[in-house]
Chains A and B, each alone.
Chain A
Amino acid sequence: MTEQDVIELIDSSLAEEFELNREEMTPEANIYEDLGLDSLDTVDMVIVLEAAFKFKIREEEAVRGIRTLGDIHRFVLEKMAESS
């Protein structure tokens, strides 16, 4: 998977799950303030990412620090790099 493929899979998975407008899904977008997610959504976000990338991230400390969509991109890309 290229970096762009990973980002596209993240964005399309989150857009489908949370019915997000793709135009608003910029890397700078705050997932709470700009994309409207809340604490319940972050539980589901982990499940959606785990299903999309076939990894386990629920216990990862870094998940709790995610604020922007770009944070998610970076987190997943690093995770993918670790496992490759």
Chain B
Amino acid sequence: MSIESVVVTGIGVVTPLGNSFGALSQALQAGASGIRELPELVQVGGLRSRLAATVEPIDARQIPRKFRRSMSSMSMYAYLASLQALEMAGYPDERLGSGELGVMIGSTLGSTATSEAFFHDYFKDYSLERMKSGLFFQLMGHSCAANVAQSLGITGRVMAPSAACATSCQAIGYACEQIATGKQQAMLCGGADELHPLTVATFDVLNAASIHYNDQPRSVPGPFDRQRDGVICGEGSGIMLLESRTSARRRGAAILAELIGFATNSDSSSIANPDVDAMARCMQLALADAGLTAGDIDYINAHATGTIQGDIAEAEAIRQVFADRVPVSSLKGHLGHTMAASGAIELAGTIGMLQQQQVIATRNLRQVDEPCAGISHVQDSRQHKLTTILKNNFAMGGINCTLILRSDVRD
């Protein structure tokens, strides 16, 4: 892939643990939890899970009305995170409309909250006479990407990959390829999602949501833990500004990390259940893409969400490829599962680890579940020499995705 070296020069996040890269990194290092009781979930009949990882409040009014009217919450999160990424990178305003910068930001769906509000009104009399002009722009599948491009005046390629929980991991990988192949010099990339009871219900119906710890929000989720009982759904946005090394160097931008490997593959054995071999193959493909072997990886940031099946499959896949030689942890215990944003938010967390030369433990991993054993679980955060990091995200629909990044080792 590395026709042109691709580097990270900016990071922006809106998360359950803070709305800046610095706040997120500090919270992760402190072992904080972003899980909260969500009273609205109690009102939903049949829903057993009552916890969620909602973002810290944002001030929507800081977004000009002209842009905000076509945004649901997820687009606002993506916009605010994009602003942070551009600011951190010192990306010049005059280049936003140069055509050199593109956008690759996805979400799981268009806005479910907007959809609900529309149909709630529509079903009163099946009339479209009250339908506002901004509705479609919040419902469309590329709402986040289009809103970011429109509001920032970006004129390069705009794409919106959608792969549920692997969305932003894929978006970053695909954006990397856009730059590596010279199609764009820079990309704002990542993902965003907004929490809706339907998100939680999706996992609850499949018996994959945590339901036994509703009165102990800080105790769940517990990736790889013997007592884990499922996902805690969340929301947010993670956005990276990727640039060609040439572009970053020309601007004198600080390089946060280099993206050196990406792979994504399809597990066609099941639309819902994970397959160990397909996961392992994805990691091996990413290693091959980076020109590395398993021994070159210093840390693995797992997808591990806290589900019974998913955590076991990922642990087995990691064991196949890396045995117990590489430290592994998941950030879902801190952040919950921020869905389409999870790949980018967690990648931001791992870049924080690179900067601090510290591996952060899996929160709520008290006792490793036997089927998840045989890999090197990080149960206590510690200083650790880190150069090269592998990041997994796996999604319903049989989508696997792996990124590899390393600290900037070139001149």
Contacts and interface: CB of A to CB of B under 8 A. Distances in A.
A19 interface: yes
Contact of A40 (B129, B130, B131, B133): B133
A44 B65 contact: no
A33 to B, nearest CB: 15
A58 B131 CA distance: 12
Interface string B131-159: 11110000000000000000000000000
Contacts of A51: 130
B65 A50 contact: no
Interface size range of chain A in the complex: 10 to 19
Of the four ranges (under 10, 10 to 19, 20 to 34, 35 or more), the interface on chain B belongs to: under 10
A40 B130 CA distance: 14
Interface in A34-75: 36, 38, 40-41, 43-44, 47, 50-51, 56, 58
Contacts of A18: 65
Contact of B134 (A40, A50, A58): A40
A71 to B, nearest CB: 20
Contacts of A41: 133
A43 B132 CA distance: 7
Nearest to B70: A40
Contacts of A40: 69, 133-134
A43 to B, nearest CB: 4
Given A36-B66, A40-B134, A44-B133, 6 more contacts: A18-B65, A47-B130, A50-B129, A50-B130, A51-B130, A56-B129
22 contacts: A18-B65, A19-B65, A36-B66, A38-B66, A40-B69, A40-B133, A40-B134, A41-B133, A43-B132, A43-B133, A44-B132, A44-B133, A44-B134, A47-B129, A47-B130, A47-B131, A47-B132, A50-B129, A50-B130, A51-B130, A56-B129, A58-B129
Interface of A: 18-19, 36, 38, 40-41, 43-44, 47, 50-51, 56, 58
